[in-house]
Structures are given as C-alpha cells and as structure tokens.
Amino acid sequence: MSKIQIIRRISFPNVNILRENKEGTIDYPSRDRNIIIASYPMTGTTWLQYMVIQIIIQGQSFHFCNEVLYKVMPFMEMNGPEAIDNLTGVRMYKHCYRNDMVKKEYKT
C-alpha cells in the first residue's frame, strides 16, 4: 500500500480516513458565521479547540473529553460533512487542510 494517496492532484497521507470524507471536506461549502479550525496535524489543534469552545461558552463549565469534543466540534475528515450538517447553533469544526484547498465564504 502506498504511503501517499492522490485526490484531485493533491497528495494526502494514506491514513485510515475514507476518500469520500477527504473529498467531502474539499467540496464542503462553509456557511456565514461558521468557526473553522484549520491546521496541520499534530500542531495543537485539539488545544485550540478547547480555547475556542471556552470563548464561545464564555467560561461556563463544560465536560471536556474527546467524545464530547468531537460532537461539539467534529473533525471533518474523520466524521464526514454530514456531522457538520447535523450541528445546531454556531457550527464549529476542524480539518487539516490548507486554506486554499477548501471552499469558503467571505465571512467565514
């Protein structure tokens, strides 16, 4: 098995993430007022998620664990775009793609 997967002429590490989720992340149209955390893997993304959630909930008590975190702010490549569509209120999510690789709205 190759260590690299090519999707739309872009090289991705061939890890345990469905090709459909990778393509869905690239094609996903963000909405006005979405909060998107986009960073390279292993660069403090989870830590940044905790900070953003604390800002949104204004320091209120929140039970932090990965299961709850992924429900509040899903990891798009792992969960797929459907997880984002099912969010209510302020939609927060993360992905590990460069900004120029994904669709975006001006105010997002």
pLDDT value of position 106:
64
What is the mean predicted confidence (pLDDT) over 40-69?
Answer: 81
Q: Which of 52, 102, 53, 50 is nearest to 76 (CA)?
A: 102
- Residue 23 domain-assigned (yes or no): yes
Residue 59 maps to a domain: yes
26 domain-assigned: yes
Residue 65, pLDDT > 80, answer: no
Residue 102 lies in a domain: no
Q: Which amino acid is at 78?
A: M
Domain range for 20 is: 4-95
- Give the three-class secondary structure for 10: strand
pLDDT digits (tens, 9 = 90+) for 15-31: 888 889 999 998 998 88
pLDDT, residue 44, reads 85
- Distance (Å, whole) CA 39 – CA 28: 17
Q: What percent of the chain clears pLDDT 90, i.e. is strictly above it?
A: 16
Reply yes or no on whether the pLDDT at 52 is more than 60: yes
Number of domains within the chain: 1
pLDDT digits (tens, 9 = 90+) for 77-107: 989 999 999 998 889 999 888 878 877 766 6
Q: Is 105 inside any structural domain?
A: no
Nearest by Cα to 51 from 97, 92, 100, 102: 92
Q: Give a yes or no: residue 101 inside a domain.
A: no
**Three-state DSSP string of 25-42:** HHHCCCCCCCEEEECCCC
